[in-house]
Chains A and B, each alone.
Chain A
Amino acid sequence: MSSRLHGFPGGLILDGHKAISSGRPSMRAAIPERLFIPLQQHIGEPAEALVRPGQRVLKGEVIGAASGYFSVPVHASTSGTVVEVADHPVPHPSGLKCACVVIEADGEDTWFERSTIADPTRLDPAALRNLIRKAGVVGMGGAGFPTFVKLNPGPGRHVKTVILNGAECEPYITCDDRLMRERPGAIVAGAEIIRRATQAERCVIGVEENKPEAYQALRDAASDGVEVVQVPVRYPIGGEKELIQVLTGREVPSDGLPAEVGVLVQNVATAAAVYEAVEKGQPLISRYVTVTGSGVSEPRNLEARIGTPLRDLLEQCGMREGEVTSLIMGGPMMGFSLRDADVPLVKTSNCVLAETGPDSNAGLPVLPCIRCGSCAQVCPVKLLPQQLYWYARAKDFDKVQDHHLFDCIECGCCAYVCPSNIPLVQYYRFAKTEIWGQEREREKADLARRRHEARLARLEREKREREARHRAKRAVLSGKDQKMEGDAAKQAAIRAALERAKAKRSSSGDRQEGAARQRTD
């Protein structure tokens, strides 16, 4: 079966720098002394810690439980003793700290009991999803979206095509390349499981043409239901929407999901993790990661445990101590700077790029935009970066949304070609953050307004109740004057009290209802 390929607009042919790290076979990284395993390595609610300091844990044991639907559990990636559960720096663009389980490894790497299923092919989609969730599998291409959620496209949406993303279009990164060469069987088996879980008709693995060995390995391993297709080398073809367009010719609606065009995309590494989870009962506790750049003497791929400090990985690749001037998590187009190497590897870390020498962008003078339009020519989403820049700079957030700011995937092509060296993507991030901030402010204001209105209503009601009480009291007193029986007076007082209690109940009920409404709003 052959697939006709389609184009996508814009894009760039970049210097790949892949051979630096792709030549060497991957190596199993050493067990570090201490692992820092973040409880949030996925999009959604963070996991809840299940362990306490001093507790012994085994490799593969659940140390964080999923909280809520949009969450996955976290597992110990080696055996050892929990030292603490506390906030530690994690790989994040703004250098955030996040709750981590710190484990002192015992070096024995003893497995927790693994439950294997006799015949996974007989499992229904729901059971498969459950297994994948229990194994803590999330999208390993970068976003960290819980995989089991993606495998459940929801009612009325049918996934026709499963696409495995093996494009790996960003320069320097070769972890998927090595994984495809070394474990094609696991990827293909994972693809089959994903296909069964979604009941899709087709499964296509897209591999960029600059990885012929990986392509061949997958071809050799591929079963009947899995096609392996080479896609042209053009950044950012590995973007989800771009790859869908190239392989199927369909555009994912702007605010929609790939499932709306009958497609589900998973990274090849995620597929391998799915295979491990379902067929071997192994949770996601390690991954391939590229350690590369001029800052290491032996750039290569490592299979490393989640939670391993990056410093350990860099040292195993011969970090040039003292010469490294920048550390980038991810690739040079979409990655982010790290403040230091003392952050752990997480499920979404695909590459650590250690660079020496001065900042490659420093010294480039920034000039005003001359509207040459080079940026628009390379934009893969067909935006007008020059106009977005203009309006973002002027803080005209209505116009910036008119020009579809939120369709920007921040691939960096525009900034890469800009002759005026304008850090365009930074402006878009700024505008997005400002708009989100304004929306939050608006929500807060709405909430405050509703609270204020509720308070006024309550005060009004209380006033009325008070008056009613006074009237009742007056009636009772005047009754006494008329020498009414004491019983009747008592009964009136009881009635009044009952009424009071009832009114109170109903008003607090109102308040609760109001609060509930505010939450759902």
Chain B
Amino acid sequence: MQQRLLIATSPYRHREASVRALMLNVLYALLPGIGLYVWFFGWGVVVNAVLATLVAVSVEAAMLFARRRPLRLFLTDGSAVVTAVLLALALPPLAPWWVTVTGTAFAIAVAKHLYGGLGFNPFNPAMVGYVVLLISFPREMTMWPAAGVISGEYAGFLDSVRIIFMGSSAAGMLDAITGATPLDLMKTQLGLNQTVTEILASPVFGDFGGKGWEWLGNGFFLGGIWLLYKRVITWHIPVAVLTSLFLMALISSALDPGSHPSPLFHLFSGGAMLGAFFIATDPVSAATTPKGRLVYGAGIGILTYIIREWGGYPDGIAFAVLLMNMATPTIDYYTQPRTLGHEKP
């Protein structure tokens, strides 16, 4: 033993686990949802996701460089890619390229790095990017294609590229395939004093949500189950989000079924499934105690319902998540678990 012995502190063992593995698992879990997205709504989402990823990684690199942080370490953690893909999934699949670029750049540069980068952002970066776009470019952000099965039009990969990068005039196809989303339609028609049953007769709707949309819900649900199985997330947040949304809708539709769609419609429309399993569960900006995660998730479900029913926007997941992000430190402080050997707090 001539050489010096290694001096370190216990524990001297470590489980094979890394932030990158967690992030990769999130991306894998998104695959079924993305596949169904492509099937029903064309290749636009893939083009957007690739574009957003390129922008996210470039902006991440620039910010890391500016902040003098190790580039390789943080560029390979996968968190920027997850933000980019989640944002792309929230955008209309045929949104113009500059919408995606602006949103992603804002999400990474402002919502993530100006707050301190990985682990320090109080708000979910993808949702900050989304909300910035929704407020700044309302027209572009509400041009959603209907499912191919309804419109008879399907945006293939090249069509999507053309529409995204050259605009609708270049392709001439956008107007034919875009329309209101089921949530949007429900909201406007209810505003015109139609009943839920009358509205649901529209070909936009499927079994309990929008045609195609409900399948997306299934895809994200499947991915969410896989995340639970891989222990990337715990059950608390998705269960709390979906249960509270379900209960809110159940109570309203039981009281007045004519003007409030069913709970299942809410669960399988818009961003509910994606939000519950993938967005609300972003660990950095979510509550971290078990009880706190239930409170946090329930808050998101309730706020989403309130915004959908009585707010100005057809969907409310993004605003609900950001609002609950603000409450996270307080929730965590007041929901500490009872430490062993202590009385109930």
Contact = CB atoms under 8 A, between A and B. Distances in A.
Interface of A: 9, 14, 93, 171, 241, 245, 251-256, 321-322, 324-328, 330, 332-341, 355, 359-362, 364-365, 367-374, 376-377, 380-384, 386-387, 403-404, 407, 410, 412, 415-421, 423, 425-426, 429
Nearest to B22: A419
22 contacts: A241-B341, A245-B340, A252-B341, A254-B342, A255-B341, A328-B12, A330-B10, A333-B12, A333-B13, A337-B8, A337-B9, A355-B12, A361-B8, A370-B79, A371-B286, A373-B283, A374-B17, A383-B339, A387-B336, A407-B342, A419-B18, A423-B9
Contacts of A322: 1-3
B138 interface: no
A367 B341 contact: no
10 interchain residue pairs of minimum CB distance? A368-B119, A412-B11, A254-B341, A326-B6, A332-B12, A419-B17, A372-B283, A404-B339, A337-B7, A333-B11
A339 B8 CA distance: 10
A323 to B, nearest CB: 9
A381 B339 CA distance: 6
B172 interface: no
B284 interface: yes
Contacts of A171: 13
B338 interface: yes
B72 to A, nearest CB: 9
Given A383-B339, A418-B14, 18 more contacts: A241-B340, A326-B7, A326-B12, A332-B10, A334-B10, A335-B12, A339-B7, A359-B6, A371-B119, A371-B283, A371-B288, A376-B337, A387-B332, A407-B339, A407-B340, A416-B15, A418-B17, A426-B9
DSSP majority for the A interface?
Answer: loop
Contacts of B74: 367
Contacts of A251: 340-341
Interface in B284-323: 284, 286, 288-290
A407 B341 contact: yes
B337 A371 contact: no
A73 to B, nearest CB: 31
B234 interface: yes
A380 B337 CA distance: 12
B120 interface: yes
A253 B14 contact: no
**Residue of B17, B77, B234, B340 with most chain A CB atoms under a 10 A cut-off:** B340
A131 to B, nearest CB: 33
A11 to B, nearest CB: 12
Interface residues of B, number: 43
B341 A327 contact: no
B117 interface: yes
A420 B11 contact: no
A218 B286 CA distance: 50
Contacts of A384: 288-289, 332, 336-337
B17 A417 contact: yes
A107 to B, nearest CB: 26
Contacts of A412: 10-11
B14 A361 contact: yes
Given A368-B117, A371-B119, A419-B17, A325 B3 contact: yes
Contacts of B286: 371
B339 to A, nearest CB: 4
B7 to A, nearest CB: 4
A295 B328 CA distance: 48
Nearest to B285: A371
A415 B14 CA distance: 7
Contacts of B12: 326, 328, 332-333, 335, 355, 360-361
**Residue of A327, A338, A361, A383 with most chain B CB atoms under a 10 A cut-off:** A361
Nearest to A424: B11
Contacts of B290: 376
A188 B70 CA distance: 59
A367 B118 contact: yes
A425 B339 contact: no
B65 to A, nearest CB: 18
Contact of B9 (A372, A419, A425): A425
A393 to B, nearest CB: 11
B83 to A, nearest CB: 13
Given A326-B5, A416-B11, A370 B284 contact: yes
Nearest to A335: B10
A167 B164 CA distance: 64
B26 to A, nearest CB: 11
B149 interface: no
Nearest to A372: B283
Contacts of A423: 9
**Residue of B10, B120, B231, B337 with most chain A CB atoms under a 10 A cut-off:** B10
B73 interface: yes
Interface string B52-75: 000000000000000000000110
B19 interface: yes
A332 B11 contact: yes
B21 interface: yes
Contact of B337 (A362, A368, A382): A382
Contacts of B7: 326, 337, 339
A386 B11 contact: no
Nearest to A324: B1
Contacts of A365: 73
A186 B187 CA distance: 80
A328 B6 CA distance: 10
Contact of A332 (B13, B231, B284): B13
Contact of B1 (A341, A364, A429): A341
Nearest to A14: B13
A381 to B, nearest CB: 5
Contacts of B21: 419
A245 B219 CA distance: 43
B286 to A, nearest CB: 8
A416 B339 contact: no
